[in-house]
Structure 1
């Protein structure tokens, strides 16, 4: 959330590094069989086939939030981050 403010205030180089660090943190939260993709801007998606159990997916979302809420060191700047998460279960 609020990625545009990082680009506007600290520049695109720091913003790009922030996106890379967020991607690393997201990958660390999922298994090797899951897909982490950047959709555009500051939007990412995770596709997992490991479970469709709502409780397990909620726990994964909490793990992701915990990982993303830790400040990110981008080129000497500690940047606070947060996220908005939605969960969709297909085909439901």
Structure 2
């Protein structure tokens, strides 16, 4: 995977975190070995150890309030049917 794509995926995760939390000072950095870490602001101590891309994205996506899952009308109706079938 190209380095640019890796950085874009990691920075997109940080952008999502900024939108969820309203904290615009989060900063991502990349080590010479290609690992990523997150800080509350540029130059601040890291909030995590340097991580591989997938681990970093999972870590960042797990921070802050989580977005509500969207449920379609069909999904809601199906859930109601399941509840009714479980009741005697």
TM-score, structure 2 length as denominator? 0.36
User: Which protein is richer in strand relative to its size?
Assistant: 1
